[in-house]
Amino acid sequence: MQPNFKRMITLIDEVFETRNDPNQLQVNEAEMEKLQLIHADTLTEIANEEGPTTWVLLIPTTKNLMLDFLQEKINETQLLHLTEIGATYTCIYLCSATTLPEFRGKGQTLKASIQAIHNIQQQHPIQELFVWHFTPEGKALANKIATLTGLTLHCK
């Protein structure tokens, strides 16, 4: 196993505490498969010879599902499961953006996020971005992405 992979998993557990929160998406093989069926750019990885340095997870979806999520009628797992493959997506959920500490502040997470959104916009009329931020850095990233893409930002 690459050393960065284990570090990324540990970092995700520390920041998001996904294992202890049933409202958060537990990314496993089935979820990864569904994400890829929704769009190839839902999962973005930047890596070096030691493994991943940045992971970005986006979920394109519909406005109704975005509103249900923001109003806490559904959780992250339900958001993914209720998003229909092949639908027209107008919103995108910045589910997670994780970068190892020594690679932060270099713009790679912002660049990867914007590139993935632009790629998804080639097939879907994405107009809104939504986020459930866990850190001040996550909130700042979402604001920068919204500004640079021209998307309306909604925060949970």
Task: Give domain limits for the chain.
Answer: 3-155
According to DSSP, the residues that pair with 37 across neighbouring strands are none
Q: In whole angstroms, give the CA distance from residue 144 to residue 156.
A: 17
pLDDT recorded at residue 89: 98
68 pLDDT tier (thresholds 50, 70, 90): very high
- Determine if the pTM surpasses 0.75: yes
pLDDT recorded at residue 43: 92
Closest C-alpha to 53, from 115, 106, 118, 91:
106
Does CATH place domain 3-155 in 2.40.30.270? no
Q: In whole angstroms, give the CA distance from residue 43 to residue 102.
A: 21
pLDDT in tens, 3-38: 777 776 676 666 666 556 677 777 777 888 999 999
pLDDT recorded at residue 114: 97
The pair of structure tokens assigned to 23 is: 């409202």
